[in-house]
Amino acid sequence: MISPQRPQRFRAPESEGQSPGGAALRRRRAGKAALCAAAYGTERTMDLNELTSKVIEAAGEVHSHLGPGLLESIYEECLAHELHLHGVASKRQEPLPLFYKGRKLDCGSRLDLWVSAVLF
């Protein structure tokens, strides 16, 4: 009797730097962040991981103080304040332009919270 071969498991690299496309991915992310910073007039002053960590920490802080069940606008206001306390630039209710076949549509879409120029 022949035993079926087990498929090889995919083994993820230990870190992004070890993957073959890791350097290219970092360059793409840095380029994207630079374009966004130029477009929105903000500077990239924090590493992406540091920024993400601060946003998660701020959201956890808001959740631990307020708990569940309140209106979204309350959480949004508190999160914006908490991000300010953590030194993270953010904007509330930022207009989101929508383009369809080259025409800009005024649909009234808005982003609840725009965090820096890197996270969106």
**Residue 45 — very low, low, confident or very high, per pLDDT cuts 50/70/90?**
low
According to DSSP, the residues that pair with 91 across neighbouring strands are 114
Strand duo 103-105 + 98-100: pairing: antiparallel
In one-letter notation, the amino acid at residue 46 is: M
Distance, in Å, from the CA atom of 72 to the CA atom of 46, rounded to the nearest integer, reads 28
pLDDT in tens, 60-73: 999 999 999 999 99
pLDDT in tens, 21-35: 566 656 666 655 555
